[in-house]
Structure 1
Amino acid sequence: MFTALAVLLVLAMTAGIAYGSVTVPPDVVWQVLFHRITALGDPSGWTLTQDAIVWDLRLPRVLLSALVGAGLAVVGVATQALVRNPLADPFLLGISSGASVGAVASIVLGVSFWGVTSHALAGVVGAMLTFGLVYLLARTWGGLAPTRLLLVGVVVGYALLGVTNYLVLQADDPGKTNSALFWLFGSLAGARWADLGVPAVALAVGIVALLARARGMNALLVGDETAAGLGVPANRLRGELFTSTSLVTGVMVALSGAIYFVGLVVPHAVRLLVGSDHRRVLPAAVLAGAGFLVLVDLLARFLLRPQEIPVGVLTSVIGAPVFLALMARRRRLSETGL
């Protein structure tokens, strides 16, 4: 299964680089990549335009799509274990709303950091501040119980959503308003090589941290008392999971905007394939989430070319019926005892 998911991811990334407003044959894509990486091969087999399209335009975008998709998927897995709710996703804990406030403020108000205006950096700062607020409120009101953490996250998220909408309405420049709205719909346009370092590090750290706690996440699914009997401190583990998921969510949302349903649909699909053991679910979610978002981003660029649809719109349109189909399949399997 893992081999199949890896092969599908490679095929999806190849298609994401090859197809768009201008098509580059897949064999030429691999020739360009091989030459760029190894300095071997004959550059006369492709044009300079094809080289620029593959290496400078599409490869960074496809890699960012894969990183964001993988990050949202593993965070979705962890969030569902964190709050013991199969309908939970990274956006329910309010972190994405904090990232949206920071990013939209930097776009609309021209907020700058060290003299450089960056909505991605502002989004990370907003996400981390929101993480601190949600964590402190949940601890103040009686600890990190699943229901309490979920309710605090939802309330804070709605409050910050109102702040975001107010900032968009107060924009005095139509260009800034359009930029903010396009970002809020979710977009991977304009990805550069310089954008890949931070999400790659955040994803690597998040995966290592979550895999190290996979056994504890398995224990959380059967209740705090059972987890304590297995030697798993539930509250401390939730604090660690909340920290890890907040970091990864903040970084991914700050770079891509609000891309819904990846963290909800992919974990359910993966569990149907590999079972519920988080030691298998987490790495499978990385591969499946990356491939899913790469394909959705390809559709976003391809359907109305040369224009493109915000990728967050497509993930919602595709994710809702897919999620319902997965739920129907899971119900049929449970009724038959499989």
Structure 2
Amino acid sequence: MTALTERTEVRPSSPSARSPLGFAGLIVLLVLTTLFVIGLAVSFGSVRIPVGDVWAIVVNRMLPGVFDVWWSQARESIVVGSRLPRALTAATVGAALALSGAVAQLVTRNPLADPYLLGVSSGAGFGVVIVTVLGFGAGMLGVFTVPVAAFVGAMVPLFLSLAIGGRYPQPTAIILVGVALAQVFSALITFSLLVLADERQLGSVMHWLAGGFGDARWSTMIFPVSALATVGTAMLWSARRIDVLQTGDDGAAALGMNVPRFRIVHLLGVSLLAGAAVSVAGGIGFIGLLVPHLAGYVVGIRAARLLPVAALLGAVAMVGADTAARSISSSLEVPVGVVTALVGAPLFVWMLQRRYRRAER
């Protein structure tokens, strides 16, 4: 987890998007890119399916009779039953993490904030340990057992952070409590795995902690999709008020904003989005930290532009990472969190070097 004990002042960007396409054109391009990447992800696998066939199958499922069927039933089952829900889940989780990461960075005015700053990832991991290792509620909800356990576990450090840190006037108190709780839950996970877990349970939990979409189903998409549709829309709706916060706490308060309450509500939304994403994908890092910076390079830091661009870039990045994870080895699926870390960490360091070199000039 990232400790957020310092504030970084952020200068407002110009109102115009930096993209030569214009903001509307950029959004259209990103939507088309997202659809293209999803099509490639569904196409790729042990059985290669042409992208044209993929979209024909999808359209024909939505509007029966549009095409004369030329594909086999087996291919349709692969597309609709397995690969498409996986790709869509990856896109939804990527959008949720990138959007929540962007909001976290804006409302804390700290470029190192990420969606897990209140300990939701560690709490979710411990929820999975309770079900997998300790056996409480195992199998009770069928395929929903692990996602529900992860989501409930993610909410525990969130509400403890609000209950404990919310007693103090400084907003950083909530964040610091969240960081401390993340370490506590990480320690509980480690203790449970080392002392209580057998080899099978250890492998299962470690695979979940590394992150991935191997268990993605149409039914389990309900968690990230619902969170993105409700919490994500609310965040986009409050973009102008988020921009007001960039003038500083005193300036925002002078304009009539209740800054502590506004920040707490949005950190709650960040954690809800992250918790829903983690519940189906595990702890996937760097998407929520890195993608908002990439979006900022394209459109600046105005929330009304940054948030939707970050969400779409996050969807593209996550689908790409999941496809790469499935492609590295024919006999073993690499956890998506490994791919995002190996690619994201060097890229993030390079971006920091560029920023600091520019500041020195």
TM-score by length of 1: 0.94
1:53 matched to 2:78: yes
> Are residues 1:87 and 2:104 paired?
no
Answering whether residue 275 of structure 2 is matched by residue 250 of structure 1, we say yes
**Counterpart in the other structure of 2:224:** 199
Shift of 1:172: 4.1
1:19-38 superposed matches below 5 A: 19-38=44-63
Q: CA deviation at 1:44?
A: 4.1
The 5 A counterparts of 1:68-147 are 68-112=93-137, 115-116=140-141, 118-140=145-167, 142-145=168-171, 147=172
Residues 114 and 311 (structure 1), Cα distance of their counterparts in 2 relative to 1, 3 Å cut: closer
1:153 pairs, out of 178, 183, 194, with 178
After superposition, the Cα gap between the structure-2 partners of 1:172 and 1:270, relative to the gap in structure 1 and judged at 3 Å, is closer
SS at 1:90's partner residue? Answer: coil
Residue 64 (str. 1) matches residue 102 (str. 2): no
Conserved in 1, the CA contact under 8 Å of 2:209 and 2:283? yes
Distance in 2 (CA, whole Å) between partners of 1:297 and 1:43 is: 32
- Give yes or no for contact 2:118–2:157 (8 Å, CA) kept in 1: no
Cα-to-partner distance string for 1:156-214 (whole Å, 9 max, x where unaligned): 11111001111222344322211100000001102111011221111111112212321
- Secondary structure at 1:92's aligned position in 2? coil
Shift of residue 230, structure 1, vs aligned partner: 1.9
Structural mapping, 1:279-318, within 5 Å: 279-318=304-343
In the alignment, structure 2 segments of 5+ residues that lack a partner are: 1-25
Q: Is the 8 A contact 2:100 2:274 kept in 1?
A: yes
CA–CA distance in structure 1, aligned partners of residues 359 and 39 of structure 2: 37
3-state DSSP of counterpart to 2:216: coil
Q: Could you tell me how far 1:95 is from its partner in structure 2?
A: 1.6
Of 198, 216, 226, 2:251 maps to: 226
- C-alpha separation in 1, matches of 2:306 and 2:138: 38
> Residue by residue, what CA displacement relative to the aligned partner does 1:262-305 show, whole Å, maximum 9, x if unpaired?
00110000011111100111111111101110000000001112
Alignment CA distance shift 1:172-1:159 (3 Å): closer
Cα contact 1:21–1:306 (8 A) shared by 2: no
Coordinate RMSD, CA, aligned: 1.8
In the superposition, relative to structure 1, how do residues 171 and 35 fare at CA in structure 2: closer, same or farther (>3 Å)?
Answer: farther
Letter in 2 for 1:5: L
Moved over 3 A (4+): 41-44, 170-173, 328-336
User: Map of 1:251-290 to 2, 5 A cutoff?
Assistant: 251-290=276-315
The one-letter code sitting in structure 1 at the alignment partner of 2:94 is G
Q: Is the 8 A contact 1:66 1:290 kept in 2?
A: yes
Stretch moving more, 15-24 or 109-118: 109-118
Paired letter, 2:228? L
**Conserved 8 A contact 1:104-1:164:** yes
Q: Is the 8 A contact 1:185 1:259 kept in 2?
A: yes
Cα offset, 1:333, TM superposition: 5.1
For the residues of structure 1 that align with 2:278 and 2:44, how far apart are their CA atoms? Answer: 25
Distance 2:169 2:187 in 1: 26
Q: If the length of structure 2 is used for normalisation, what is the TM-score?
A: 0.88
**1:186 to 2:211 alignment:** yes
Which residue of 1 is the match for residue 20 of structure 2? Answer: none
User: Percent of aligned positions with the same letter in both sequences?
Assistant: 36
Q: Retained in 1: the 8 A contact 2:223–2:277?
A: no
1:124-156 Cα deviation digits (max 9, x unpaired): 11112211101111122x2352x3232211111
* C-alpha contact 2:155 2:275 (8 A) present in aligned 1: yes
* Partner Cα separation in structure 2 for residue 184 and residue 116 of structure 1: 20
Bigger helix share:
1
The one-letter code matched in structure 2 to 1:133 is L
- Give 1:326 deviation, angstroms: 2.4
| 1: CA distance, partners of 2:160 / 2:120 | 10
- Residue by residue over 1:56-84, the C-alpha shift from the partner in whole angstroms, topping out at 9 and shown as x without a partner, is 11000001001100000011011112322
Distance 1:8 1:280 in 2: 18
Aligned partners of 1:208 and 1:278: how far apart in 2? 13
- For residue 7 of structure 2, what is the aligned residue in structure 1? none
